Structure formats: structure tokens, C-alpha cells
């Protein structure tokens, strides 16, 4: 084998030591926090947002949707060409293809880690805020749910995004949420950037079919949101994706920081959106531990909150199907590869953080 091929082989198989090195805990969270998450990453993030802010809509979405098809098309084209050639060697071609795909995957993973992925391994948000995550009695969860439902009912009376004439101003809400991040911690979030990096997508239908409400695309630094989802979901989804942009990679942590930030808003829609999401996750956990308490509290939903629950169900159920299942499986695998052992269930772990925060309330302050 020539040197060139050996070099390619080395790059391809380097994905194995990369996976071991990045996910084994050899690099301590404290080291990653100081050198990457609060050191190198803010510069990378700023550079990416500067490079990709020129388009109003998601560039990452186009890359994610089109590039795999272009690569598959090229592979098929070259394969057919090989079959037609007189001195064809299909076995050699397939080996070469496999090697090239391995090189691509390995390189992509390395870039992913450099531009964002290390944030999965930083100091956890509960440690940053000095919270105590611990097993707690169900009674605490019941109190949490009750408090959140009450707040939700009140907030929903102050805003009606479904009344005739109501228009959701995407850019304005993105601006407000970014300002909330900066109010929350002016040091850490001072350079989060412009609302131009919180983007609507080109194909909300495709996103919905894949059961995606929002997605952070790390290679372009864009926080992408499916703008066709029910209006009451949008502010929280935007805040969640901005949380990823700010360097909170884990799903429960992006949910938690989004909640902390949005609950300080003067805009009742932003607040409501966050509390409604918190109710969804908390009640989702309660039904697993105490069904009677769940049904008792479920009765406390105001009719407007109830309508929103069915709006969300109605919207997402119309896209339910095998693609949504595949997408969820891929997300589950992706999260597990990045050391999130609970996979897609990790979104719901925000409840552990909400319970811990009841013990030690967080006000607008820099993390400890
Ligand atoms: Zn997320």
C-alpha cells in the first residue's frame, strides 16, 4: 500500500482513539470548562456567527439536507462508471469508497468536537450553579408541578397568541431572548451575537416530519427553529437553541438555562412558553411516579392551557410516522455517542434541575 493510502487509513481509524479520548473522562470537566467552554469556544462561536449571519434563514439546514444526497449521488455515479469501465475492479472501488467515507467521518467528528462538541464534557450546570441533584420524594415533584401549572394558568390569561390579528414577530422575540441572556449573566453572554443567528428554516415541513422543533447546527453556529410549530412553543425552543449556542450542549441543561432566562421576561408569551415547557416535562415525570396525583393536577389546567396542549399534540401528531421514529433513533444514538447515557430522555432531566433549584433559587447572577 502506498504512503498516501496509509495516511488515509490512519485518518479513518483515528475516529476510534478520538471517541475514546473525548468520551472516557481522561480530559477532566474542569480542564474543558476553563480551556474550551469559557476559553476557546466563545471565539469559535463568534467566528461562526460572523461567517454565517448573512443569510436570514438556516444555512446549516441546507447543508444537512443536501450534502448527504450530493455525496450519495457522486458515489453512485462513480460506481456505475466503474461498472461500465473495461478494466473494472469493483472490490477495489468499494474498499476505496469505504476508506474515503471513513476519512470524511473521522474528519467531521474532529471538526465537530473543535467547534462545539467538547461542551458535552464541561462542568455540569448543577455544579456551575451550586445545585444539589439528588433523589427526592414525589411530594416535592407534586409541589413543583402545582406551582408551575398555577403560574402557567395566570400567564396564559395575559397573552393569547391565537386571537385573530395576533402576529408573532420572530426577530423581535429572538432579540428579547438574547437580551434576557445578557441580563441573566452579562459576562458570560455578552457576546452571544445578533438575532440574525437565530434562524427560521427553509423547510418546516421536513423538520416537522423529522419531529424537530429546533436544532443547533454546530458547524455554522446557527440556532434553527421550526417556525411553523405552534406559537406558544416558539420562544422556549428559540431560547433552548440559543442555550446550545451559548455552550450548553446537554439537552436538559439547554432546557434549564432557557427556562431560567425566559422566566425573567416582561413579555408574557416568552414567560408562558417557558413555564408551559416546564409543566410538560414535570408532569411527564409525575405520571411515572404517581398517576393519581398526575390526574388530580391535570384537572387544574385552565381551558386555554388545555387548548395549547391539544394544539401541540395536533400539530406534532399529523407528522407522526416512520421518519419521526428514525429521527428520534438517530438523535438518541447521537446523544449516547456524546456521553448522554439517557439519550432522548435527557430532555426531561430538566425536572431534576428544577427540583434542585427550588432548594437554592437562582437569581440573575454569574454561575459560581
Ligand atoms: Zn437541544
- Report which of 286, 351, 287, 279 is spatially closest to residue 312, judged by C-alpha positions: 279
Q: How far apart are CA 312 and CA 24, in angstroms?
A: 39
Instruction: Using a CB cutoff of 5 Å, list residues around ligand 1, an ion.
Output: 251, 254
Lowest mean pLDDT among 12-21, 199-208, 291-300, 303-312: 12-21
Position 24 pLDDT exceeds 50: yes
CA of 308 relative to ligand 1 center, distance in Å? 22
In the reported structure, the alpha carbon of residue 255 is separated from the centroid of ligand 1 by a whole-number distance in angstroms of: 8
Cα 2 to ligand 1 centroid, rounded to whole Å = 43
Please report which helix (H) or strand (E) contains residue 215, including its range. strand 214-217
Least confident range from 23-32, 77-86, 184-193: namely 184-193
Write the pLDDT tens digit of every residue in 244-264.
999 999 999 999 999 999 999
67 three-class SS: helix
Residue 59 has pLDDT above 90, yes or no: yes
For 320-332, what is the mean pLDDT? Answer: 85
- CA 275 to ligand 1 center in whole angstroms: 17
State in Å: Cα 184 to ligand 1 middle.
20
- Could you tell me the distance, in angstroms and rounded to a whole number, from the CA of residue 350 to the centre of ligand 1? 12
CA of residue 261 to ligand 1 center, whole Å: 16
DSSP bridge pairs for 199: 224
User: In angstroms, what is the span from residue 215 Cα to ligand 1's centroid?
Assistant: 6
What is the average pLDDT across 314-323? Answer: 91
CA of 17 to the centre of ligand 1 (A): 26
Interval between CA 194 and ligand 1 midpoint (Å): 20
Which pLDDT band, with edges at 50, 70 and 90, does 4 fall under? Answer: low
- For residue 82, the CA-to-ligand 1 centroid distance in Å is 42
Exposed (0-12), middle (13-18) or buried (19+): which is 123, by Cβ within 10 Å? middle
Phi-psi region at 131: left, alpha or beta (left = phi > 0; alpha = psi -120 to 50) = beta
pTM, full prediction: 0.92
Q: Where are the domains of the chain?
A: 3-121, 125-359
Residue 359 CA, ligand 1 centroid: distance in Å = 26
Sign of torsion over alpha carbons 103, 106, 109, 110:
negative
299 Cβ partners below 8 Å, 6+ apart?
none
pLDDT grade for 334, boundaries at 50, 70 and 90 = confident
Distance 172 CA to ligand 1 centre (A): 22
Which helix or strand (DSSP H or E) is residue 276 part of? helix 268-289
Q: What is the 243 CA–ligand 1 centroid distance (Å)?
A: 8
CA–centroid distance, residue 45 to ligand 1 (Å): 16
Amino acid at each position: 500500500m502506498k504512503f498516501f493510502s496509509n495516511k488515509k487509513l490512519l485518518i479513518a481509524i483515528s475516529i476510534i482513539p478520538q471517541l475514546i479520548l473525548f468520551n472516557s473522562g481522561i480530559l477532566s470537566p474542569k480542564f474543558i470548562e476553563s480551556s474550551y467552554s469559557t476559553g476557546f469556544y466563545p471565539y469559535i462561536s463568534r467566528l461562526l456567527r460572523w461567517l454565517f449571519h448573512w443569510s436570514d434563514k438556516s444555512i446549516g439546514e441546507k447543508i444537512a439536507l443536501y450534502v448527504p444526497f450530493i455525496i450519495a449521488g457522486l458515489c453512485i455515479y462513480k460506481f456505475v462508471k466503474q461498472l461500465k469501465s473495461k478494466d473494472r475492479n469493483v472490490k477495489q472501488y468499494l474498499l476505496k469508497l469505504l476508506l474515503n467515507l471513513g476519512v470524511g467521518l473521522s474528519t467531521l467528528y474532529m471538526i465537530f468536537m473543535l467547534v462545539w462538541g467538547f461542551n458535552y464534557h464541561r462542568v455540569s450546570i448543577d455544579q456551575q450553579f451550586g445545585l444539589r441533584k439528588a433523589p427526592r420524594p414525589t411530594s416535592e415533584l407534586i409541589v413543583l408541578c402545582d406551582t408551575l401549572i398555577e403560574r402557567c394558568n395566570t400567564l396564559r390569561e395575559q397573552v393569547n397568541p391565537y386571537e385573530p390579528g395576533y402576529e408573532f414577530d420572530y426577530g423581535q422575540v429572538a432579540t428579547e431572548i438574547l437580551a434576557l441572556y445578557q441580563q441573566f449573566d452579562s459576562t458570560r453572554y455578552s457576546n452571544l451575537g445578533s438575532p440574525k443567528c437565530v434562524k427560521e428554516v427553509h423547510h418546516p415541513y421536513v423538520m416537522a416530519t423529522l419531529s424537530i422543533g429546533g436544532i443547533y447546527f454546530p458547524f455554522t453556529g446557527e440556532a434553527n427553529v421550526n417556525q411553523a410549530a405552534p406559537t406558544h412553543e416558539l420562544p422556549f425552543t428559540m431560547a433552548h437553541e440559543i442555550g446550545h449556542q451559548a455552550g450548553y450542549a446537554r439537552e436538559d441543561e439547554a432546557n434549564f438555562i432557557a427556562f431560567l432566562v425566559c422566566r425573567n421576561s416582561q413579555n408574557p408569551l416568552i414567560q408562558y412558553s417557558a413555564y408551559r415547557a416546564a409543566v410538560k416535562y414535570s408532569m411527564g415525570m409525575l405520571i411515572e411516579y404517581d398517576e393519581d396525583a398526575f390526574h388530580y393536577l391535570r384537572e387544574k389546567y385552565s381551558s386555554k392551557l388545555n387548548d395549547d396542549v391539544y394544539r401541540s399534540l395536533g400539530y406534532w401528531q399529523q407528522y407522526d410516522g416512520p421518519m419521526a421514529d428514525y429521527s428520534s433513533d438517530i438523535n438518541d444514538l447521537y446523544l449516547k455517542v456524546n456521553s448522554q447515557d439517557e439519550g432522548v430522555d435527557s430532555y426531561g432531566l430538566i425536572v431534576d434541575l428544577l427540583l434542585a433549584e427550588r432548594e437554592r433559587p437562582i437569581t440573575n447572577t454569574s454561575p459560581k
